[in-house]
Structure 1
């Protein structure tokens, strides 16, 4: 059971916790292909083909395991590889990535996200704890967070306990006094448990819990999270 009296700080996942990520990624990939259309049409066609693009992304991940924690670096390398494979100008990589990245920041927050952030921010210091590459200031919610820990900058991704401990340290509290909230059963909830934190799993899809050792609480959305903590 969740012990609310122990909570002195909160860490929040971002993608699929505060906004749905895959519609955002789909739009960003479409913008990327449009940007490349006139400049590198063969690469644009490759990246616009869902099956071919998925194979390319898998090959890039396998070829660059040292970048597994850095989604921006992987996205850049994916674009560079597509251009090189198609015999087109790899010098377009930075501009193409910038177009992709700008659209990636145009997220559509869940309806209850701002109310939940306002609720949490007046009660606890909050840190963003993400394996993704969202920019909170570009999204417009940076003011709610006292710290931001990303796998890209830290060099280690969730569910490694070290990134959870880094977030607790950034908030100035021990891990046992932190509540971590996120949508991913393994990366978020199970990872937080392994780091000695309390964990609330945001389970919008009503999925089955896949691990031994239950999270301290499971809720269907951010509104229920706030009710739990009220």
Structure 2
């Protein structure tokens, strides 16, 4: 078989032209496209890696925040629990203080009422003793007792101490007439009146005018009234002493019971 050199050369030239054309219009664009795609993929991978890294950072921050919130939650719970306990203790103490105060006030009121009742009972008992004694003495009063009262009173006039005499003598007379009143719970016989007048003029004032009057407030008693000063003998004094002594005894017994 004969080989035509021209044909061979032409085919070689055509092949070279084809290769050049393929390289120029096909291989180079494909290569550039593949390079561009490769670079784009690398960029996407780099972006994805960056995002994955950021996601890891965010994840770590989230986990850290979650731990912090858990710790803070526990701390808040502990603090709230302590505050609740403190408030509970405070309210308990306040309630206990109020209860103690109310109880103390109740005891104080009870003690006050008891003392008031005791005082009223004591006063009523002592008054009743005095009233009963007054009634008994009034029923027992007679002429002999009245005579003895007058004699005792006259004897008292004759036995005034210096202080009594000075008090009476130095008191000013309110008017030109020096009037001395003798008050009694009974009628004094004339002869006894004369003795009383004589004792007054000898012991108190020689020029005194003596007036006698009946006073129903006395219990078997007689009293001299002169310029605001009094000299008396009256069973009322003894009854007052009896009432005071009775009240004192009741008070002492009440204190011993308390």
TM-score by length of 1: 0.24
Structure in which a larger fraction of residues adopt helix: 2
TM-score by length of 2: 0.22
Specify the structure having the higher radius of gyration (Cα).
Answer: 2
